[in-house]
Every structure is written in C-alpha cells, then in structure tokens.
Amino acid sequence: MKSNLLSDSFAILIDEQIVDQVNLLSYPDQVCCAIKLDGQRLYAGCRDNEQPAIWSLRNTDGQLELGLIDAIGKQPSTTELLAVIEAALTYYPTQKKVALTVAQSQFPELFATGVLTVDGNRVTAYAETFWQQSRLWHQGGGIPCPIRYGFSQGRRHPLRSPKPSGLVYRRYIPWLGRTLNLRRPAIDTDLQRFNCWMNDPMVAAFWQETGDMQKHRHYLEAIDVDPHMLNLIACLDDEPFGYFEVYWAKEDRIAPFYDAHDFDRGWHVLIGEPQMRGKPFVTAWLPSISHYLFLDDCRTQRIVIEPRVDNHKMMRNLAHGGYANLKEFDFPHKRAALHMLLREHFFSEQLWLPRSSIATHSLSLS
C-alpha cells in the first residue's frame, strides 16, 4: 500500500519497490551527499562544484545490483560508495543485500570493517551489517569506551564516557523529505521551549513535571551532571519537536526490576510540538532513537523502555518498532510495562524503516 506523500520530492512504497522519482540525502563521514533516482540510474553528488557520478541500480529477479556508469573520470570515493549503498537499500527496503560491481582491491577499509564482503564471486553489502556502520549516522563515531568498573548506589557497572556535545545523530527521513537530527540541549537556548513542552497537558499527563522556568533549569542541569543519563533535542531539519532522555539501565532505577546487563540502554520521550505527533513522525523518531543507541556503543545488545500501562498508544508504537512487551511491574510512581528491543532483531528485520504490518513480538530474557 502506498504511503501518504509528505514531500513532493519523495515517493515511497512501503514493502514494495520504489517507483517514483526520488531525492535523498546521505551523510557518510559527516559529508552531505545528494542522491537522485531516475529510472534505473542513481545520480550521486558528494563533492562541491562537480557533476554527480552516475550509477546503475537494478532489481532483477529479486537481486539488487549497483554499478558505476560514469564517475566523471574519477574513481568513486569511499564516501560516495557509502552514500549510494544507503540509497539502494533505502529505495528497496525489503532487500537484504545489494551486489556491487566494484574492485575488491579498491576499498580495503570497507572490507576490513564488514561493510563489504565477497559473496560467491560478487562483492556484496548486506543491509544488516551496513546499518550498523556508525560513520553514516552517528556524528561522534560510536567508538566504545574501554571498560573500567565503578559503583553507583551500590551497583557495579562500567564507567561511562564523557557526554558528547552538539549534534550526535543525523538521518534523512525519506517519507518526510526532511533530516532528523538528535542534538544535546543548550540550556539557555532551549529552556523556554522545554518549559512550554513540559507544561503541555498531553505531556504533563505522563511526565508529571509541570513547573516554572527555574524548576526546569534545575531539571536540565541535574541531568547534565548525571553520568548515567544523556538528554537530547530531536529536530526535523533545524526545527525542534521533541525531547529524549536516554540512560544506562545498569545504573538506573529500572535495574532492580530485571536482569540489567552492563550495556543495556533505555529511553524516555516527549513530543512537544502537536503538529509533529502522529504516525508519519513516530515512524521517523522511534526507529531513529533505537538506531542511535545501538550505534553509540556496539556492545549494547538490548534497549529497554517502561511506559505506563495505560499508555496504549505508546505500547502500540513500540510493538511496531520491534519492542517486545515482557511484563508489568510497579515503580513507586507508576505501574509500568517493560519493553525490550534486541540488537539482532532490529538489524536483521531492518526495523529502521516502517513496515505496512508488523506482528507483535515476544521473547524471553534467557
């Protein structure tokens, strides 16, 4: 079924081949590449003031193939190749892999890091491994911190890296025709907006953090100095619309309620702008926060979230995002439902893109 078109420049068929003219942006190694699909040709522009390279993209008998037609007299760069692979796997969202006509000797780094493999006699990029490459979306590189243990509130856990600043994640959302950014809050700049969001009746019903500007300044300052928490402002292009708090579960209040592992992450969210609530936006930000947390540390195998049991809309959204509803339990302040997303499930099922129908999943903690 064809999705609602929210951008004149982009048309997508969920679970089907894309058939309309498409524009897409990719950000490998923090370089903005503009991609255009015209029939079976991809035009990739990653260098200023130069004509775009031309690639062929064919889906023949279920086999997706990507090959260079014209690079304006130059060999494709690693940046360009990453961008066109992302485009190919985005335009054909049900494909698990794409075969490439490139020389094995040309991109040793991509073979060494698992972006490319040799499948039979073909160079191949698998979607499951490609989307785990932090260099395309994570703006800090996603380099794990060496392990050294400490204690917080009687719990032994790895000490965490210093918090990042500025932009941490960037991804173009095809069905919105906009780029989703996650960035750290700047208290002086974002405080008034944050205060307005927290006092919105729909937000307050679940967050219960209404108050004045001074209260919310102290709130944000407390998170800044808490090593187990990281807060983020979500934007479409440069327009803020929501707020996330992500945390290391081992040091969080959720830890006593399940067998928390060292690198489990969790998150909370509020969508402050009413015009950006609804399904097309949920299918952008929900998989993006999951994707960011998996990219941020490759040792993170599980993400948890514990909405209130009466937040039925959120639980439906989580089910569509691949989260399993494990159990209900009682926090001091609410009756909660523990949901969990496995790294393997997210990447093997390609859950960074929406599906027309997603079954509710179950799993065990074993």
Annotated catalytic residues are: 306
Beta strand 302-305 with 324-330: parallel, antiparallel or unpaired?
Answer: unpaired
Integer Cα distance of 232 and 249 in angstroms: 17
Quick one: three-class SS letters along 83-95?
Answer: HHHHHHHHHCCCC
Contacts of 217 (CB under 8 A, 6+ apart): 187, 191
Integer Cα distance of 194 and 202 in angstroms: 14
Integer Cα distance of 56 and 37 in angstroms: 9
Q: Residues 47, 49, 51, 54: what is their CA dihedral angle, to the nearest 10 degrees?
A: 20
Q: DSSP assignment of 169-224, as one string?
A: EEEEETTTTEEEEEE---HHHHHHHHHHHHTSHHHHHHH-----HHHHHHHHHHHH
Contacts of 291 (CB under 8 A, 6+ apart): 131, 137, 169, 171, 346, 352
For residue 229 the two structure tokens come to: 């928490």
Integer Cα distance of 343 and 132 in angstroms: 10
Three-class SS state of 106: helix
Integer Cα distance of 307 and 327 in angstroms: 11
Q: DSSP assignment of 8-50, as one string?
A: TTB--BTTS---S-EEEEE-GGG--EEEEEETTEEEEE-STTS
Integer Cα distance of 196 and 186 in angstroms: 15
